[in-house]
Amino acid sequence: MNPEFLTGLNERQHEAVTLPHQSALILAGAGSGKTRVLTTRIAWLIQTGQVSPGGLLAVTFTNKAAKEMLVRISSMLPINTRGMWVGTFHGLCNRLLRAHYRDAGLPQTFQILDSQDQLALVKRLLKAANVDEERFPPRQVAWYINNHKDQGRRAADADAYDVDTRRKQELYAVYDEQCQREGVVDFAELLLRCFELLSRNEILRQHYRERFKHILVDEFQDTNRLQYQWLRMLAGKENVVFAVGDDDQSIYAFRGASVANMQELQKDFAIGTVIKLEQNYRSHGHILDAANALIKNNERRLGKDLWTAEAKGEPLRVYEADSDIDEAGFIVDEIKSLVRDGVSLSQIALLYRSNAQSRVLEHALFNAAMSYRVYGGLRFFERQEIKHALAYLRLLASDEDDGALLRVINFPARGIGNRSLEQLQDAARAAGSSLWAAARAMADERAPKTAGSADIIPHPASLKGIPAFVALIVQMRSATSALPLPEIIEHVIEHSGLKQHYQGEREGADRLSNLDELINAAAGFIADDSIEDTGLAAFLAHASLEAGDNQAQAGADALQLMTVHSAKGLEFHSVFISGLEEGLFPHENSLSEADGKEEERRLMYVALTRARRRLYLSMAQSRMLHGQTRYNIASSFFREIPEKLMKPVNRVRLFSSSTPRAAYSTATAGRGAKPEIVREAGLSDTASPWRVGQNVTHPKFGAGVIINAEGRGADARVQVNFHRDGTKWLALEFAKLEPA
């Protein structure tokens, strides 16, 4: 007699849940009910007496997912789940190490360092060793340590192929010694220490193999090398591994995840048949057909086709915008239309590939007074790097802004400690002045004097602490006094040390993109005809207003903004995927990586499968990126989705490489300048096959779009915006252009 909780499972789900005692790989497509299969499998094993609640191990990647699993199990079985070994890799390793702390070489009360605690420890060690933090940024050193631990390598086995890596290897060794001395472990250490304990202690290893006859793993495609080795260590000859995952949704290679673990699992555990969960309970048919067609272009995949018993639904709506501002305006208008049709804001998601894209979108939402929430992150003007840059700008604009001074006086670090700040604040209180005036007085006191001259502030390189900071601000004020707003911001980012600081971070590229987007925001601000005052103070007021409004309160109905990475595991009635341009999505960085384009395609697959009923795809012919107007060609992903599944919303030319279109002239398009539309002229007046707006390829420069043309016969030339190498003029007599 089947337990009641098996009721409602489809054929493939039932097969997976009731598998006999054997290792299995369950290839679970998006929206196919993988969590239900995993938890029902656990309930079935317990209900049928194959294992006790304490005799199985279930691993997932988030505490939220682990709690949800326990709730679902307790709803199916009348058991106490409190003692079950269900949790994250780090949580389970912590539990095991607490039970065997002596064997692991740890104190009973060992503490766990979070990422900020770890960074603080690295900074202490660098300072004690008199290491130059500009050459060895603390975040970079911490990333080096964690990366090697995730690969299962101690300091003795770490990379050491040049002077810098040898120094990092030494710092790794010193860091490990200090952690051991203090009785602390970081997150990466939890898994590595647990793996090493089981590797060398055969009695303990055998004990847990006999205890956990069944090992179940959620989101298996996201496991890294060490996590997989840890699972293999726990699974002896008599143990079975039940792994649920989807190679098409493996999007965390930048965190060390290896989709190849799925193939390794099949080989190591002699898994002959992979059970595929292909029935989707989320999306309409056209959305699934588009996702299937796209992902089939990946060569290294196990292969499956999602299908649904639901209707085909509406085609994907496609919009080709003139600019990123036009794109944002279209999205806002469509959201208003959806809301009028009864769709709540909380059931609408706006996805983008890069965090920096959110600024233009947030601005459009702000102007439309539309409530929104940035999921898994901060709104643009609330991000750390933006607040630091704005604080520098506030200090340039006003000597009286004590809050701005306190935020950046020692960021990036310039040797100003708490004691120095206390002295500065005491001096300001005694004089009844601003902190800046007190700092200026300190600098004047310490500045060298020359006969018959006024006080001179020397170059910052010859100063330390507060005087160096004063000299920096004075120099930046002088250098930017006659510059337009976007160039003021660019100068501050470059000379304040912010750019160099974030270049040394593991994930600093995203922060640098946001800083570039701040320059774009300034360019858009001064180009807005409705704004009379376009000075620095007015821009800072504008930034404060946008930072303070429209962010939805907890529980309020609000539009959901997020990166595609943040959207994994979520679903919405309607989804907008913006910025579908070659070089942005797929991202240009993917072109230089072996599996880069395939991972970007998996990311697009995740984006498509978030939508239940309606899906919008949009791109912009021009977009402000890194402070410059960039002219774009449509994402190659458009060509991988059957045209019959897409419905153009406006005059879309994404599906034709030969259709002429208008383009923006680079001669007039710059920061703050409104681009001039260059109509089809020059070559388009002749019988030439080349047209402005045509997508082309070049053997050296790659893909691009013709944005201008001039001359005839032997003098004919075209201006092409290549997404890899920028804009170039090419003489047609010698150019080796091909239609895209």
**Residues labelled catalytic:** 34-35, 218-219, 249, 610
Locate 423 and state its tokens: 């002295």
3-class secondary-structure state, position 371:
coil
Integer angstrom CA distances of residue 307 from 34, 277, 278, 548, 609: 15, 10, 6, 44, 12
Half-sphere exposure of 93 (CA within 13 A, CB side): 26
Helix axes 187-200, 225-234, angle to 10 degrees: 40
The CA distance from 559 to 350, in Å, is 8
Cα dihedral value 218, 220, 223, 226, nearest 10 = 90
The CA distance from 82 to 666, in Å, is 64
| Residue carrying structure tokens 């897409």 | 646
The CA distance from 364 to 346, in Å, is 18
CB-count burial class (<10 Å; 0-12, 13-18, 19+) for 514: buried
What DSSP character marks residue 52?
Answer: -
Closest CA to 515 of 362, 384, 395: 384
Strand pairing class (611-625; 572-577): parallel
Q: Alpha carbon 676 to chain centroid distance?
A: 34
3-class SS letters over 242-280: EEEECHHHCCCHHHCCCCCHHHHHHHHCCCCCEEEECEC
Spell out where 118-258 has E strands: 184-186, 214-217, 240-245
In the chain the first and final C-alpha atoms are separated, in Å, by 62
Locate 535 and state its tokens: 């000075």
Beta bridge partners of 703: 697
Q: Alpha carbon 303 to chain centroid distance?
A: 26
Strand pairing class (646-648; 316-323): parallel
| Residue carrying structure tokens 């996590």 | 227
The CA distance from 86 to 62, in Å, is 11
The CA distance from 438 to 426, in Å, is 9
The CA distance from 694 to 660, in Å, is 6
Alpha-carbon torsion (475, 478, 483, 486), positive or negative: positive
Closest CA to 256 of 218, 231, 224, 219: 224
